[in-house]
Amino acid sequence: MMNTKPSRLTAENSLVILIDHQPGLLMNCKTIDPLTIKNNVVAFANALKVLNVPTILTMQSLGGFGPITKDLAEALPDVEHIDRTIIDVWLDARIRKMIEDSGKTHIILGGITLEVCAMFPALSLREEGYQVYAVMDISGSQSVDIERWALARLVQAGAIPVSFTAVLMEMLGDNSLPEAGPVYGALSPSWGMPTFLSEYHQ
């Protein structure tokens, strides 16, 4: 088991797994508006590209949930869509190998739904000694109660709940870096400060 002492997120020590952002699953989310989740995960994906953070995309074709949302697929055109039947992505041999081969120690998860697609691999990864982050605003649940129960279990296991912007800002670390403008530019233009900083770095 690897060292479990908490350490800060960096673009170099992290890997992101985006789990099942598919229309049929998004529409079941009641804790966050499905369109907000979609917009958040696309902004997150675009910023991750700027920071060169490796990203895994997964989906389930069984169940009629549809493909990965078009905007997310377009944001990560070079990333394979891993179609799986195993619910816990860590137990899928292909994904497990990708995680292990990456050498990354910090695994960042967002999934539909939080209580299944994100929580199960979070528990498995914690058992293996990884530092795990659950990105709450690119995940969603079927009710507030279900989300609360899932969050309690995640925290009890040592996973860290975060927002996608908190992840990006921790990785960026310094607004004077050349990556700052494109990172902020990936965020919603309705956010005044990111828009201002994006223009400042042009």
Asked whether 23 and 109 are in contact (CB, 8 A), the reply is no
Catalytic entry in 116, 117, 151, 159: 117
Number of domains forming the structure of the chain: 1
Distance CA 76, CA 2 (A): 30
Within-domain flag for 96:
yes
The two three-digit tokens of residue 115, written as one number = 């209580």
Within-domain flag for 166:
yes
CA 23 vs CA 20, 41, 160: distances in Å: 9, 13, 26
Domain coverage including residue 126: 14-173
Kind plus residue range of the DSSP H or E element containing 73: helix 70-75
Within-domain flag for 196:
no
pLDDT, one tens digit per residue, over 53-110 is: 999 999 998 778 999 999 999 999 999 999 999 999 999 999 999 999 999 999 999 9
Within-domain flag for 2:
no
The two three-digit tokens of residue 180, written as one number = 């700052």
| Residues forming a β-bridge with 18 | 57, 110
| Strand blocks (E) in 28-136 | 55-59, 81-83, 106-111, 131-135
pLDDT tens, N- to C-terminus, the chain (202 residues): 455 567 899 999 999 999 999 999 999 899 999 999 999 999 999 999 999 999 999 999 877 899 999 999 999 999 999 999 999 999 999 999 999 999 999 999 999 999 999 999 999 999 999 999 999 999 999 999 999 999 999 999 999 999 999 999 999 999 999 999 999 999 865 454 545 454 554 5
Q: Please tell me the pTM assigned to this model.
A: 0.90
Within-domain flag for 183:
no
117 is catalytic: yes
For residue 160, the SS3 value is strand
Within-domain flag for 198:
no
State the CATH number of the domain containing residue 28. Answer: 3.40.50.850
